[in-house]
Amino acid sequence: MPGSVPLALGLDTVGLQVPWYFRCPISLELMQDPVTVATGQTYDRASIESWVATGNTTCPVTRAPLADFTLIPNHTLRRLIQEWCVAHRSLGVERIPTPKQPADPDLIRSLIAQCPGLPALRKLRALARESDKNRLVMATHETRAALVEMAFGAGGGGEEAQAEAMAVLSLIGMGEAEAVEVVGREERVARLGKLLGSSQGIMTLEARVNAGAVVEAAAAVSGAEARVVLGVAEGVMEGLVALVDEKGNNARAVRVGIRGLFALCLAKENRPRAVAAGAASALARRVAEGGCAGEPERALAAVERLCRTEGGRDAVVSGAGGGATAVTALVRAMSGRAAEHAAGALVAVVGGSEALQVEAVRAGAMSQLLLMVQGGCSERAKRKAQHLLKLLRSAWPTTDSMANSDDFLNPY
């Protein structure tokens, strides 16, 4: 509303004192979603979840060990806070929204029992799409195992039911036990390859994306041997590349493709096949265009690995639109969280090419590398940056503005 006060900024700053029992003991801000822990203390859900997620096992106020980490919504306190907000609306206070509670586990079990009926599967899919909290409730072995059976036709139901089950599974992911049930069955791996490699049919893209998400989930929790099984399956690698190259710029398709290729390329045996399938070119193209759908780190990690594979370096250069474009894109990426992998890929791209080394210096690689060496990067990232600094040293004098800089002449 016009003139409203952002609660996160603190209402005391506008002369309105918030009652102490409405404040979260952790953040000291007005609680949005008050929940009570095992010790009887109440906190804002986001604050106590963050507290527990960082490894704390005690109650912040009492310091007593938390017997369990169940968070019970404090509906009475929430309603009191909402009433207080409404009472002070004239001062620009917004009413806190009523938080949507996670799905009831009993409801999930009931819906699974009704499967493979389409209404139950569609309800499960809607719940999974609704929130992370719902997906967390649904991510039990029992639910995942049942969905695996249905998605691959073992639980009865027709193709439409199988597609719905695959969609739900793609949203909630898999654990190691469920991944074994997929990767350990030749016909199931073949089905994923068929779906991913399909180019005809109703809702083709959605079916391919869901299959790709299941491949990525299975590969992410499996060992190298299982990843190789998925990587060599007909249609899998090519299908993931097609998702990365999706012309409609479907963000989920691109994201699933990148994550899937990253997971499969963790296995060395898959990398030559990935290069042959066009993965290096497709990933480099996305990096150069800045269209990694929120997955620049995985995209560049895969690019770095593929650059070290025969034919991968040339594929990255051509995919990015040429050596200069590839270098510029990788230098630009060194300013983000994927800096380590961008530096590693840049070593492969400019190594042996004096012209591209000069291009890297012109693109600003030196300042980025010095920041990496002097900043808070991991030791592995610093080693890559130092190696690249040495590699580019001969190119410094070709750019006058850098040759005259003491910082560049004395990088260490």
- The answer, yes or no, to whether residue 395 has pLDDT greater than 80, is no
Q: Report the C-alpha gap between 96 and 260 in whole angstroms.
A: 39
From the CB of residue 301, how many other CB atoms can be counted at a distance below 10 Å? 23
Class of 20-91 in CATH: alpha beta
The amino acid occupying position 117 is G
Q: Which residue's structure tokens are 């209402």?
A: 11
Q: Which residue's structure tokens are 């016009």?
A: 2
With beta carbons less than 8 A apart as the criterion, state whether 237 and 227 touch. no
pLDDT of residue 98: 83
With beta carbons less than 8 A apart as the criterion, state whether 15 and 93 touch. no
Fold of the domain spanning 180-313: Leucine-rich Repeat Variant (1.25.10)
- The answer, yes or no, to whether residue 31 has pLDDT greater than 80, is yes
Closest Cα to residue 46, out of 94, 8, 81?
8
- Per-residue pLDDT of 234-285, as tens digits, reads 999 999 999 999 887 789 999 999 999 999 999 999 999 999 999 999 999 9
pLDDT of residue 267: 95
Query: 278: phi > 0 → left, psi -120 to 50 → alpha, else beta; which?
Result: left
10 Å CB burial of residue 320 (0-12, 13-18, 19+) is buried
- Who wins on pLDDT, 88 or 156? 88
pLDDT of residue 95: 87
What long-range pairs does 362-369 form, CB within 8 A, spacing at least 24?
362/399, 363/327, 363/328, 363/331, 363/332, 364/331, 365/327, 365/331, 365/334, 365/392, 366/392, 366/396, 366/402, 366/408, 366/411, 368/331, 368/334, 368/335, 368/339, 369/334, 369/343, 369/411
**Across 297-304, average pLDDT:** 94
Q: Tell me the pairing of strands 72-73 and 34-36.
A: antiparallel
Q: Report the C-alpha gap between 137 and 96 in whole angstroms.
A: 25
pLDDT of residue 2: 41
In sequence order, the 6+-apart residues with CB closer than 8 A to the CB of 149 are 155
In the chain, the percentage of residues whose pLDDT exceeds 90 is 58
- The answer, yes or no, to whether residue 400 has pLDDT greater than 60, is no
In residues, how long is the chain?
412
- The answer, yes or no, to whether residue 1 has pLDDT greater than 60, is no
- Who wins on pLDDT, 379 or 80? 80
Q: How far is CA 124 from the centre of its chain?
A: 22
Q: Report the C-alpha gap between 335 and 324 in whole angstroms.
A: 18
Query: 156: phi > 0 → left, psi -120 to 50 → alpha, else beta; which?
Result: left
- Taking each helix axis from N to C terminus, what angle separates 312-320 and 296-307, rounded to the nearest 10 degrees? 130
Query: Where does the pLDDT of residue 408 fall: very low under 50, low under 70, confident under 90, or very high at 90 and above?
Result: very low
Q: Where are the beta strands (DSSP E) in 45-115?
A: 72-73
With beta carbons less than 8 A apart as the criterion, state whether 136 and 91 touch. no
The side-by-side arrangement of strands in the sheet containing 42-44 is 42-44, 34-36, 72-73
- Per-residue pLDDT of 322-340, as tens digits, reads 989 999 999 988 877 788 8
- The answer, yes or no, to whether residue 4 has pLDDT greater than 60, is no
In the chain, where the domains are located: 20-91, 102-173, 180-313, 322-396
**Across 96-119, average pLDDT:** 90
Comparing 9-18, 197-206, 256-265, 302-311, the range with the smallest average pLDDT is: 9-18
**CA–CA distances in Å: residue 147 to residues 119, 144, 160, 305, 349:** 14, 5, 13, 34, 44
* Tokens standing for residue 271: 């990398």
| Coil/strand/helix, residue 30 | strand
- Per-residue pLDDT of 39-83, as tens digits, reads 999 999 989 988 988 888 899 999 999 888 888 889 999 999 999
- Per-residue pLDDT of 196-223, as tens digits, reads 987 654 458 999 999 999 999 999 998 8
Q: What is the DSSP string of 238-290?
A: HHHHHHHT-TT--HHHHHHHHHHHHHHTTSGGGHHHHHHTTHHHHHHHHHHHT
**Across 354-371, average pLDDT:** 88
